[in-house]
Amino acid sequence: MSVKDNSYGIADLQDKMLDIVKYFVGICEKNGLTYWAGAGTCLGAIRHGGFIPWDDDVDIFMPRKDYELLWENRDVWSDDSNYKIVRSSLDKNYRHRVMQIVDLSTTFINKRCVNDDIEHGVYIDIIPLDTAAPTAVGRLFQAINTVIYSVYNIQVIPEFHGNKLMIFGTRMLLGVVKKPEKRYKIWKKAEKRMSRYENSRSTNYVDLLTYLKMIFKPMPKEWFEQLTVPFEDTEIAVPKMYDNYLKAYYGDYMTLPPEDRRSIQHKTVIIDLEKPFTEYRGIYYKKEENGEEGNP
């Protein structure tokens, strides 16, 4: 039964994501990891007491140190076989810049991933919150490395909401380096450079991997003391100074957007909450192995 009844047809999907959130929070509480609901998930918690009714994803942030600690211990701390913590590597590319926790019993196939033999289940995003470089020049280089990381990590041409300059730049960078092995080396080095300020004197965090505008908006670390608030039938941690945080992202965040902007964001081939994605291999993803075209 759905936690939230709404008219957008995604309440059951939100329930699945909520189950993953609860599982993730349990890992954090058991192992002393810090996290916050961020971006639209934080907005939903404050404005709606749960999911934004039309939201089809979950954004959870962690300090970079805890983010990497979770990844290093994923096989030990993730003790439910229904869930898997994943992240792009040389062998598997999820066309996504951040870590995810995937429900392996479900199907959620993005159009951009139909050629990829990956875990195509319902997931939540786990996003590192990096320490901002302490100088203006440092922040510029941090931003440049973020762009390099993003392009060579995802390795597809995003839409950029019609931004032709960004599309051209992405296509050019991917055209210069075509071998997956070289792209992997480039994005791993860029990731290391953009996240190297953890032990610097900087008193700010910076969100490098959600909205482009946030790359240039350092946020005081004092905003991010944990505050627990209601979220659907459970509770979730948000930044204690969430008002400052949400204004930085959205401005007047309590005002609902126009109705024509209240829509789901992901472009999916199929969503099936009852069957695992493996049942659709060769049908909706990796179709070229059945002699069909595999492009989205």
Asked if residue 223 and residue 150 are part of one domain, the reply reads: no
Domain boundary (196, 211, 243) is at 196
Residue 80 within a domain: yes
Task: List Cα–Cα distances, 167 to 95, 122, 180, in angstroms.
Answer: 16, 28, 20
Q: Which domain holds residue 181?
A: 135-196
**Which of 77, 11, 8, 9 lies closest to 232 in space, CA to CA?**
11
Residue 1 within a domain: no
User: What CATH code is carried by the domain that includes residue 273?
Assistant: 3.30.460
Alpha helical stretches, state H, the chain: 11-31, 39-48, 64-72, 74-77, 136-154, 164-176, 180-194, 242-250
Task: Say how many domains are in the chain.
Answer: 2
| 5-19, 78-92, 251-265, range with greatest mean pLDDT | 78-92
| N residues, the chain | 296
pLDDT at residue number 92: 94
Residue 162 within a domain: yes
What CA–CA distance (Å, rounded) separates 161 from 270? 22
**Which of 110, 142, 107, 111 lies closest to 122 in space, CA to CA?**
107
Asked if residue 207 and residue 182 are part of one domain, the reply reads: no
pLDDT at residue number 181: 95
pLDDT digits (tens, 9 = 90+) for 104-156: 999 999 999 999 999 999 999 999 999 999 999 999 999 999 999 999 999 88
- Do the beta carbons of residue 61 and residue 35 sit within 8 Å? yes
pLDDT at residue number 163: 66
Asked if residue 177 and residue 218 are part of one domain, the reply reads: no
Asked if residue 242 and residue 184 are part of one domain, the reply reads: no
Asked if residue 236 and residue 91 are part of one domain, the reply reads: yes
Q: Residue 4: pLDDT above 50?
A: no
What CA–CA distance (Å, rounded) separates 174 from 160? 16
Kindly state the DSSP code that residue 289 receives in the 8-state scheme: G
pLDDT digits (tens, 9 = 90+) for 55-104: 999 999 999 999 999 999 999 999 999 999 999 999 999 999 999 999 99
Average pLDDT over residues 230-238: 98
- Provide the β-strand partners of residue 205: 131, 219
Kindly state the DSSP code that residue 100 receives in the 8-state scheme: E
pLDDT digits (tens, 9 = 90+) for 165-217: 777 888 888 899 999 999 999 999 999 999 999 988 999 999 999 998 999 99
pLDDT at residue number 234: 97
Asked if residue 262 and residue 177 are part of one domain, the reply reads: no
User: From its phi and psi, is residue 294 left (phi > 0), alpha (psi between -120 and 50) or beta?
Assistant: alpha
Asked if residue 162 and residue 91 are part of one domain, the reply reads: no
pLDDT at residue number 291: 46
Q: Residue 7: pLDDT above 60?
A: no
DSSP letters for 221-287: GGGGSEEEEEETTEEEEEETTHHHHHHHHHSSTTSPPPGGG-S----EEEEESSS-GGGGBTTTBSG
Q: Residue 15: pLDDT above 50?
A: yes
pLDDT digits (tens, 9 = 90+) for 47-62: 999 999 999 999 999 9
Q: How confident is the model at residue 296 (pLDDT cuts 50, 70, 90)?
A: very low
| Other Cβ atoms within 10 Å of 233 Cβ, number | 11
pLDDT digits (tens, 9 = 90+) for 19-56: 999 999 999 999 999 999 999 999 999 999 999 999 99
Residue 92 within a domain: yes
pLDDT at residue number 284: 95
